[in-house]
Amino acid sequence: MTTTTTSSSIFSSAPRIPPDAIFALTAEYIADPSPQKVNLGQGTYRDDKGQPWVLPSVRESRRIIEERGLLHEYLPILGLKTFREKTAELVFGEGYGKIQDKLATSQTLSGTGSLHLAGSIIKSCLLRSHPSHPLPTVYIPNPTWSNHHLVFSSLGFNTLSFPYYNPTTKSLNIPSYLSTLRAAALGSIIILHACAHNPTGLDPSPEEWKEIGGIVKERNLFPLFDAAYLGFNSGDYDKDAWPVRYFVSELGVESAVCLSFAKNMGLYGERVGCLLLCTSTPEIATNTQSVLESLQRSEISNPPAFGAKIAETILANEKLRRLWFEDLRTMSGRIQEMRRVLFEGLGRYSSGNWDHLIRQSGMFGFLGLSRDIVRILKDEYHIYMAENSRVSIAGLNSGNVDYVARSIAEVLAREQ
């Protein structure tokens, strides 16, 4: 007699999760044969011909690295030391010397890796000090970059959205923002977009940042800055980094700064990031750094080298750093010009008020269109944007911006 044994897969309970919306949208765009298609979805910089742009500072950095001899050895677990030091010096500016010995730093897998490592070390330290306590809530603005919820929920944190955007006025909902902070439990974690808020392009003013900072300090909240666009937003690195410097140098609050060089150096696929943890004492910083090293070892062993060497060479070379600052002005300037031209085109072809578009800044524009209109623009006009009508302004150029403005106006007129 033969006995049949039925074995079940360990993965049988795995659900089918929908693909990431932006990457799926990019795949649709690539498959579209239309010669008039426009990709306003993925946030990658393009030049006025719609092509990827290798920054002159990056090109020169690569040349220097190749002349020295490009080796492919392992990096230390925490990454390139000079890269980490120069990144911290860049971010904190004149205040760096006063906090240098209170910093724990690690090279990361771009901004996502930095956010994940920040969440990991916060979780590790809190569970060590209070093993029976639940993890603090992570407050995340709504709307936000979709990966924020995914990263922190995957680590076991409870994530909670709070209103950031007022769809009626198409502006920052600062009263709701402040009331949320005042009501948050002591010790909660607050995700702060350092500049160029994704997706709305709306940032607090310096006065509003001071109000936010005052509540954060008063209620002992932990600010976690997602700083993916420093320098890329306004073309002025010091201006874009001001909120981070204010919280750390002026308010003296412990903070995490999660950095990416994907956008501001165009190193998208090289995954160059850095985590800066601002602690309260040099001893705590030393201990925290050791935990970072242990966590990094368990997750990726050590970070990739090539992109970090490019960034390190730029940051450590005064001539290259000046050239990079010029590159930042070039990119931000072209984006600002395309925002202006789109605004003027929408005003010319439609009867709506588009002032909200020029109140925004950075790579993205938040148009305020319905999902039905976004779908029609994709299906009939081959214009691809996120479902919430977030557009990458960098995807516009002199050859397509008028077409985009006219198409949006036509669809709005049809749907009225």
Residues 380 and 260 in one domain: no
Which of the four pLDDT bands, split at 50, 70 and 90, describes residue 381?
very high
Catalytic residue among 145, 209, 324, 354: 145
Evaluate whether residue 344 is within a structural domain.
yes
Domain termination site, one of 267, 282, 316 = 316
Annotation says 263 is catalytic: yes
Annotation says 354 is catalytic: no
Residues 219 and 285 in one domain: yes
pLDDT of residue 187: 94
242 pLDDT more than 90: yes
**How many Cβ atoms are within 10 Å of 322's Cβ, its own excluded?**
12
Domain termination site, one of 316, 341, 370 = 316
Residues 382 and 293 in one domain: no
58 is written with which tokens? 């990056």
Contact between 58 and 265 (Cβ < 8 Å): yes
237 is written with which tokens? 């690195």
Annotation says 145 is catalytic: yes
Residues 261 and 342 in one domain: no
pLDDT of residue 2: 54
Distance CA 266, CA 289 (A): 28
Residues 378 and 277 in one domain: no
pLDDT of residue 4: 52
Residue 375 has φ and ψ, to the nearest 5°, of: -65, -45
Q: What is the largest distance, in Å, between two alpha-carbon atoms of the chain?
A: 83
Evaluate whether residue 69 is within a structural domain.
no
Catalytic residue among 203, 226, 240, 327: 226
**Helix ranges (DSSP H) in 69-109:** 81-92, 96-99
Per-residue pLDDT of 96-143, as tens digits, reads 999 999 999 999 999 999 999 999 999 999 999 888 889 999 999 999
Section 314-339 average pLDDT: 97
33 pLDDT more than 60: yes
The per-residue DSSP string of 286-332 comes to HHHHHHHHHHHHHHTSS--SHHHHHHHHHHH-HHHHHHHHHHHHHHH
Section 216-226 average pLDDT: 97
Q: Quick one: which of 377, 379, 385 has its CA closest to 403?
A: 377
Evaluate whether residue 1 is within a structural domain.
no
- At 226, which CATH number? 3.40.640.10
Contact between 173 and 333 (Cβ < 8 Å): no
Section 398-410 average pLDDT: 96
Residues 48 and 133 in one domain: no
Residues 39 and 81 in one domain: no
Distance CA 379, CA 374 (A): 9
Q: Quick one: which of 44, 40, 33, 32 has its CA closest to 408?
A: 40
Residue 206 host element (H or E): helix 206-218
pLDDT of residue 42: 84
Residues 221 and 84 in one domain: yes
Q: Quick one: which of 388, 411, 396 has its CA closest to 22?
A: 388
CA-CA-CA-CA torsion for 29, 31, 32, 37, nearest 10 degrees? 40
Evaluate whether residue 7 is within a structural domain.
no
pLDDT of residue 130: 86
Evaluate whether residue 205 is within a structural domain.
yes
Q: Is 391 helix (H, G, I), strand (E, B) or coil?
A: strand
pLDDT of residue 132: 84
Contacts of residue 272, defined as CB under 8 A and 6 or more positions apart, other chains included, come to 107, 110, 260, 261, 262, 265, 307, 308, 310, 311
**Distances in whole angstroms, Cα of residue 148 to Cα of each of 137, 191, 335:** 13, 8, 25
Distance of CA 197 to the CA centre of its chain: 8
Which of the four pLDDT bands, split at 50, 70 and 90, describes residue 21?
confident
Evaluate whether residue 13 is within a structural domain.
no
Q: Quick one: which of 56, 61, 54 has its CA closest to 83?
A: 61
45 pLDDT more than 60: yes
Per-residue pLDDT of 153-212, as tens digits, reads 999 999 999 999 999 999 999 999 999 999 999 999 999 999 999 999 999 999 999 999
Lowest-pLDDT range of 24-28, 214-218, 322-326, 375-379: 24-28
Distance CA 314, CA 326 (A): 12
Which of the four pLDDT bands, split at 50, 70 and 90, describes residue 271?
very high
Domain termination site, one of 271, 292, 316 = 316
- At 361, which CATH number? 3.90.1150.10
Which of the four pLDDT bands, split at 50, 70 and 90, describes residue 7?
low
Residue length of the chain = 416
Evaluate whether residue 149 is within a structural domain.
yes
Q: Which domain holds residue 109?
A: 74-316
Distance of CA 23 to the CA centre of its chain: 16
Residues 299 and 336 in one domain: no
Count structural domains, the chain.
2
Q: Quick one: which of 70, 180, 29, 189 has its CA closest to 119?
A: 189
Section 10-26 average pLDDT: 90
Of all residues in the chain, what percent are helix, strand and coil, respectively (each to 5)? 50, 15, 35
Per-residue pLDDT of 272-322, as tens digits, reads 999 999 999 999 999 999 999 999 999 999 999 999 999 999 999 999 999
pLDDT of residue 5: 52
215 is written with which tokens? 């509540």
Which of the four pLDDT bands, split at 50, 70 and 90, describes residue 326?
very high
Residues 141 and 266 in one domain: yes
Section 87-101 average pLDDT: 96
Q: Quick one: which of 91, 87, 90 has its CA closest to 246?
A: 91
Parallel, antiparallel or unpaired: strands 272-278 and 255-260: antiparallel
129 is written with which tokens? 């000090």
Predicted TM-score (pTM) of this structure: 0.93
Catalytic residue among 86, 102, 170, 263: 263
Cα–Cα–Cα angle for 76, 77, 78, rounded to 5 degrees: 90
Residues 44 and 88 in one domain: no
90 is written with which tokens? 């860049």
Which of the four pLDDT bands, split at 50, 70 and 90, describes residue 3?
low
